[in-house]
Amino acid sequence: MEDMIFYDRLQFAFTITFHYIFPQLTMGLSLIIVYFKWKYLRNNNEKYNNAAKFFMKIFAVNFTMGVVTGIPMEFQFGTNWAKFSELTGGIIGQTLAMEGMFSFFLESSFLALFIFGEKLMGQKLHFLTGFLVFLGSWASGWFILATNAWMQHPVGYEILENGKFVLENFSELFSNPWLLPAFLHNQMASVVTSSFVVASIGAFYIIRKKQVEYGKLFLKTGVIFGLISSLLVAFPTGDWNAKNVAKYQPATFAAMEGIFETEEAGAEIVLIGQPNMVEKKLDNKIAVPNILSFLTHQDWNQQIPGMDQFKEEELPDNIPALYYSYHIMVGLGTIFIGVMVLALFLLWRKKLYTFKPLLWFIMFLVPFPYIANITGWYTAELGRQPYLVYGLLKTSDGVSPTVSSGNTLFTLLGFVALYMLLGLLFLVLVGKTINEGPKLQKH
């Protein structure tokens, strides 16, 4: 049984981590593509149209990868988490099925039209198809986060005698106080990822001295989108989310922030430190007093419960992993703001395109927004443990009763091998597209 849950969790974590590389780019990138297309409609400069089509090509590869790695997610609810599906399907099935019907269809139908239909439709309709792709991809995020929000903070349900959750109030699923902050935070983080990708490709073209005209356009656009989104990720959306965790999952909040002991007169914010689970304290701690209380409650001296206030079984089951995920996310987020502020300053002083060190830095920074996004997702998911539905359904009660650990291990290994191949092909393909550059687009 222990093995079984371990392999099931590992498999889900692995497949969803790999999957999440793709939608976080497509959601943000669709916004930037719509922006390019809109600029083209305004100023009729072919450059913007080519930019939109170039990024749509990268979008398409990512979308394909997102689809093929997304179908396993839906399947795994049934194959590996059958008990969970049986008990909660009546509720999260609503949001998941809506995702399929209202967003996935929109995105995939109009993506083909955007890519192949420019000559058939004229520019305004072509813009519209691009906009619908954007709408579809953001709606996708909305429904997925509605599903996740229900697992984090269940609302609108009723539990029957046989343990099944059934829906009692449909509209509560979407007015869940957890949903809107989580959605906005997630979408802004997606825009951060795609801004860095766009800026990084721009920096690459400038450094390589090919496609310089496009390089400048991409870098400028990436920096502007990147600064706005990385600020919005931190404030207000990140702040708003943290307050939600403090309110609805106080044990998670204490573990995330690394507060082992409750301080009577206000909690400090931990910048650096390693959780020591044996002695129940942080090693090598650097912290600023009272800030956490202020950020959470706008009161310097408000008490925040530490982990000592909760029973062992109420605390997340992997506190160090949760703590590090959260701190990596916050740390990287801070770095992104710094880099983008500097880049914008240089852009304003007209020195950005010639300041090589920063160009190189921006070019190689591109994996880090992905890491920040994924650790952010981990923070949410590890924080919810040991529950699948917070406070109501334990993770260990959600696995498939008939599937043995050997089967799960076998399929896990299969997924690892297959996804490594996919990842390699993906890099080759995107590398080739970037290398060819936007001018070679023939549609």
Interactions with other proteins, residue window 65-124 (CB under 8 A) = 67-72, 74-75, 77-80, 82-83, 85-94, 96-102, 104-106, 108-113, 116-117, 119-121
- For the CB of residue 101, give the shortest distance to other proteins in the complex, in Å: 3
Q: What is the dihedral of CA 27, 66, 387, 329, to 10 degrees?
A: -50
Give the three-state DSSP class for 13: helix
Q: Which residues, 6+ apart, have CB-to-CB distance to 87 below 8 Å? A: 163, 164, 165, 393, 398
**Closer residue to other proteins in complex, CB, 174/178:** 174
Q: Which residues, 6+ apart, have CB-to-CB distance to 23 below 8 Å? A: 66, 70, 137, 140, 141, 190
Size of the site for other proteins (CB under 8 A): 71
Of 181, 207, 226, 214, whose CA–CA distance to 368 is shortest?
226
- For the CB of residue 142, give the shortest distance to other proteins in the complex, in Å: 14
427 scored as a contact of other proteins (CB under 8 A): no
Query: What share of residues in the chain are helix, strand, coil (percent, to 5)?
Result: 75, 5, 20
Q: What is the dihedral of CA 278, 373, 100, 77, to 10 degrees?
A: -20
**Closer residue to other proteins in complex, CB, 237/433:** 433
- For the CB of residue 171, give the shortest distance to other proteins in the complex, in Å: 9
**Closer residue to other proteins in complex, CB, 385/400:** 400
17 scored as a contact of other proteins (CB under 8 A): no
Site for other proteins in 144-163 (CB under 8 A): 158, 160
Of 54, 46, 33, 299, whose CA–CA distance to 191 is shortest?
33
Cβ pair 177, 153 in contact under 8 A:
yes
Q: How far apart are CA 289 and CA 270, in angstroms?
A: 9
Segments of 203-332 assigned E as strands? 269-276, 281-288
Locate 313 and state its tokens.
Answer: 């079984």
Site for other proteins in 344-403 (CB under 8 A): 400-403
CA dihedral sign, ordered 79, 80, 82, 84: negative
Site for other proteins in 29-68 (CB under 8 A): 61, 63-64, 67-68
**Closer residue to other proteins in complex, CB, 126/327:** 126
Locate 64 and state its tokens.
Answer: 């394909």
**Closer residue to other proteins in complex, CB, 170/235:** 170
**Closer residue to other proteins in complex, CB, 164/439:** 164
Cβ pair 87, 163 in contact under 8 A:
yes
Among 212, 260, 422, 439, the residue binding other proteins under the rule CB under 8 A is 422
Instruction: Please confirm whether the linkage preceding 23 is cis (ω < 30° from 0).
Output: no
Site for other proteins in 244-273 (CB under 8 A): none
- For the CB of residue 157, give the shortest distance to other proteins in the complex, in Å: 10
- For the CB of residue 87, give the shortest distance to other proteins in the complex, in Å: 8
- The radius of gyration computed from the CA coordinates of the chain, to the nearest angstrom, equals 23
Site for other proteins in 170-189 (CB under 8 A): 170
**Closer residue to other proteins in complex, CB, 271/416:** 416
> Which DSSP state fits 124?
H
**Closer residue to other proteins in complex, CB, 81/253:** 81
**Closer residue to other proteins in complex, CB, 67/295:** 67
289 scored as a contact of other proteins (CB under 8 A): no
Among 231, 411, 437, 438, the residue binding other proteins under the rule CB under 8 A is 411
- For the CB of residue 280, give the shortest distance to other proteins in the complex, in Å: 39
- For the CB of residue 103, give the shortest distance to other proteins in the complex, in Å: 10
